[in-house]
Chain A
Amino acid sequence: RKEVEQDPGPFNVPEGATVAFNCTYSNSASQSFFWYRQDCRKEPKLLMSVYSSGNEDGRFTAQLNRASQYISLLIRDSKLSDSATYLCVVKGNNDMRFGAGTRLTVKP
């Protein structure tokens, strides 16, 4: 079983749609959680951290369920510029483990 599992997609949605990505992780001792965004042929970039209480950054909402070892990302009112691969990331003591990513394409 992979340490971090994501639905690879692709998700193809129209502009303005709401889309949700899910992720599960296997190591119950994981301490920190993140969503990264990666554009084609670019490096991954931090989108947001994920906290147990849930957190929001504009159109983006992240949730963490430690009991179920489950992380989610919700994107509201999606824009063309949201098209990218979204990587779920789980951190132990110091090293981060990445999911394979979920590809999102937002279409006009």
Chain B
Amino acid sequence: DAGVIQSPRHEVTEMGQEVTLRCKPISGHDYLFWYRQTMMRGLELLIYFNNNVPIDDSGMPEDRFSAKMPNASFSTLKIQPSEPRDSAVYFCASNNGGGRGYTFGSGTRLTVV
């Protein structure tokens, strides 16, 4: 199993630009989660999907952030326009429900200058 795959690993962009982060969950996992990690705030849940449907997006910081899951094997997190305070590591994770833990991808380290 290839695990949760995220791309890109690193992204450096200028303030105001659009950023798109990508995630491929583990095959057969029907839950997908987007987290953001910073030194100040730790790991924060942004949004999660079940069977491609967004269930809870209350963690999405503001309208500049949007997430989609067009099919069971792909999700995107988009920031438009990006700001320096969006600089963080963004993790995607998946699981197949129940009381199990999540498997995380390697993360995307985003720097907005």
Contact = CB atoms under 8 A, between A and B. Distances in A.
Interface of A: 31-32, 34, 36, 42-46, 49, 87, 89, 91, 94-101
Contacts of A49: 99, 101
B106 A43 contact: yes
Interface string B25-59: 00000010101000000110100101000011000
Main SS of chain A's interface residues?
Answer: strand
Judged by DSSP, the binding face of B is: strand
Contacts of B42: 98-101
Contacts of A34: 101
Interface of B: 31, 33, 35, 42-43, 45, 48, 50, 55-56, 91, 97, 99-107
B99 A43 contact: no
Q: Among A42, A95, A101, find the residue whose CB has the most chain B CB atoms closer than 10 A.
A: A95
Contact of A96 (B55, B101, B106, B107): B101
Contact of A94 (B43, B91, B97, B104): B97
B99 A31 contact: yes
9 contacts: A32-B101, A36-B101, A43-B91, A43-B105, A94-B31, A95-B33, A95-B45, A95-B48, A95-B56
A43 B106 CA distance: 5
Given A91-B99, A94-B55, A95-B33, A44 B104 contact: yes
Q: Top 4 nearest A-B pairs by Cβ distance?
A: A43-B104, A98-B43, A32-B99, A100-B42
A45 B97 CA distance: 17
Nearest to A6: B42
B99 A94 contact: no
Nearest to A4: B42
Contacts of A100: 42
Residue among B42, B55, B100 with most chain A CB within 10 A: B42
